[in-house]
Amino acid sequence: MKESEKTETATKKESSSGDIMSRFSPGFLHGAILVLALLVIISGYMLGFQYGKLSVMEGSAPASTAQPSQAAAPAPTQAAPQPTTPPPPTVPKTAKPEVELFIMSYCPYGLQMQKAYVQAEELLSGKADMKVKWVNYAMHGLKEIEDNTREYCIQKEQPDKWLAFEKCFVETTDYSACAAKTSVDTSKVDSCYASLDAEYGLTAAFEDKASWLSGRYPKYTVNDDLNKKYGVRGSPTLVINGEQVKVSRSAEAVKQAICNAFTTPPAECNTKLNANQEQPGAGPIGAGSAPAAAPSAGCGA
């Protein structure tokens, strides 16, 4: 191409470009530039948002917002409930309290109380004057009259055998086996029984149904005077220094009631006994698991 033709072609291109640019005003160009800038900013923001969202989904939160992990606090543990013994009753105080437990030998609640009583009796032997007495009527047939009388005789005439026999009897209610086990002289018991039967008419009262209490229960009058004196109406009834008291049927409750009747309690009163209520009826001493509670059920009125 000739030099003149090259120059002419270049001139035409410049003229064409100038014509195109001349078609847009300066304001239009400024707006276009602004729009492009906004598009760049928005694109950058969207990229950052997507990155942050992905980081959260992947569990990589920014360090400044991370919270320290805390282990769950262990649940507080509760101690097993312990048996509680109600406060002992208030009774007249003496140097050597007189304690009398009135029962029927086959009353399940009398046996329950006797299991508790015998433990306190063993602890306070010689410190308090503790005896078992009998309610003035029987609710459990001829066997109750017989064993009431036998126990009365052992306690009265063979006191050195009484405690061991009593502990055996409340567990089994087997007179013959317990007498043999504790070396009770049964011939003395038989002689005593015959004497009491003649004095109080025990067999005659049992056979005379017309004389029965309310027409239902034979009278048993060996301790009738004391029943009337203290207002005994059923089994068990506990009397301390001449006052009827109501206590839980646990060894600890009985011990506390007796110890509260001393003018000066002996050192034995500091010994803790079983605070669980004994089980009704014959059975092992100390086998109860229920916490001590106010006495309720009994035999009789």
- Tell me how far apart the alpha carbons of residues 35 and 76 are, in angstroms, rounded to a whole number: 65
Asked, for residue 48, whether it belongs to a domain, the answer is: no
Task: With residue 150 as reference, give the H or E element that holds it.
Answer: helix 142-157
Q: Is residue 38 scored above 80 in pLDDT?
A: no
- Tell me how far apart the alpha carbons of residues 269 and 112 are, in angstroms, rounded to a whole number: 22
Mean per-residue pLDDT over the chain, rounded:
82
**147-170 burial by CB neighbour count: b if 16+ within 10 A, else e?**
bbbbbbbbbeebeebbbbbbbbbb
Asked, for residue 115, whether it belongs to a domain, the answer is: yes
pLDDT in tens, 140-177: 999 999 999 999 999 999 999 999 999 999 999 999 99
Measured N-to-C along each axis, helices 108-123 and 159-172 cross at an angle, to the nearest 10 degrees, of 140
Asked, for residue 135, whether it belongs to a domain, the answer is: yes
Across residues 206-226, what is the average pLDDT? Answer: 96
Amino acid symbol at 88: P
Asked, for residue 64, whether it belongs to a domain, the answer is: no
Burial class (CB in 10 A: 0-12, 13-18, 19+), 213: middle
Across residues 64-76, what is the average pLDDT? Answer: 46
- Tell me how far apart the alpha carbons of residues 116 and 254 are, in angstroms, rounded to a whole number: 7
Is the torsion defined by CA of 274, 275, 279, 281 positive or negative? positive
Q: What is the pTM of this model?
A: 0.71
| The token pair that represents 136 in the structure block | 């003035």
Query: 87 — phi, psi (to 5°)?
Result: -55, 140
- Tell me how far apart the alpha carbons of residues 62 and 55 are, in angstroms, rounded to a whole number: 8
Q: Give the pLDDT of residue 59.
A: 41
**48-76 burial by CB neighbour count: b if 16+ within 10 A, else e?**
eeeeeeeeeeeeeeeeeeeeeeeeeeeee
At residue 7 the predicted structure's pLDDT band, cuts being 50, 70 and 90, is very low
Give the strand pairing for 237-240 and 299-300.
Answer: unpaired
Q: Is residue 73 scored above 60 in pLDDT?
A: no
pLDDT in tens, 15-32: 444 444 444 455 555 555
The CA R_g of the chain, rounded to the nearest whole Å, is: 50
**274-284 burial by CB neighbour count: b if 16+ within 10 A, else e?**
bbbbbbbebbe
At residue 53 the predicted structure's pLDDT band, cuts being 50, 70 and 90, is very low
Q: Give the pLDDT of residue 293.
A: 73
DSSP code of residue 65: G
Higher pLDDT, residue 72 or 210: 210
Is the torsion defined by CA of 241, 244, 250, 252 positive or negative? negative
Contact 106, 137 (CB under 8 A): no
pLDDT in tens, 233-272: 999 999 999 999 999 999 999 999 999 999 999 999 999 9
**Domain with 138 in it:** 98-300
Strand partners, 99: 130, 240
| 217 Cβ contact list (under 8 Å, min separation 6) | 137, 138, 139
Task: With residue 3 as reference, give the H or E element that holds it.
Answer: helix 3-21
CATH number of the CATH domain containing 255: 3.40.30.10
In the block, residue with structure tokens 């000066």: 264
Asked, for residue 51, whether it belongs to a domain, the answer is: no
- Tell me how far apart the alpha carbons of residues 127 and 135 are, in angstroms, rounded to a whole number: 25
Residue 293: CB atoms within 10 A of its CB come to: 15
Domain count of the fold of the chain:
1
